[in-house]
Structure formats: structure tokens, C-alpha cells
Amino acid sequence: MRTVYLLRSVTDATRRHVGSTDDLRRCLTDHNAGRAIATAAFRPWRVVVAVVFQDDARAVAFEHYLDSGTGAEFARRHFW
């Protein structure tokens, strides 16, 4: 099982991050501890949405969709 997650910075609400993991709790801990270079400057982070997939391939496809122009717009309208 894989989770696609959307994070928002607590200190700067304009900063967002989309990713996927097999352990959301560990991943959020890593982001908030500064172990992820891309998100270290805007910590702490909070989970806005988490979607769990049984199929890893579908999770990766959904994450890539959210990173695309159309998917980013979808996320803006429905999640952020």
C-alpha cells in the first residue's frame, strides 16, 4: 500500500508539497525534522490530504497527475 500526500507549510501557507510514501507518519517526521532538502526551509508541515492506494502504480500515477498542470489545478480546487 502506498499513500499520496499533500503537505502545507505551517509557517508559509503558500508553500505546498506533494509526495508519496509507504509510511506517512515517518515521512512527515522526516519533513518536519529537515531531512528532506526540498521542504526543510519551510517546516513545520501538516498533512492536508492523504489518499491510500492498494496498487503502488496507481499511487505513483496519481502523484504525477497532481504534479502536472491539470492535476495541480484539480488539487487547488479540491484540496488546498
SS3 52: strand
Instruction: Give me Rg for the CA atoms of the chain.
Output: 12
Determine contact, residues 7/63, Cβ cutoff 8 Å: no
pLDDT by position in tens, the chain (length 80): 999 999 999 999 999 999 999 999 999 999 999 999 999 999 999 999 999 999 999 999 999 999 999 999 999 999 98
Q: Largest Cα–Cα distance of the chain, in whole Å?
A: 34
pTM for this prediction: 0.92
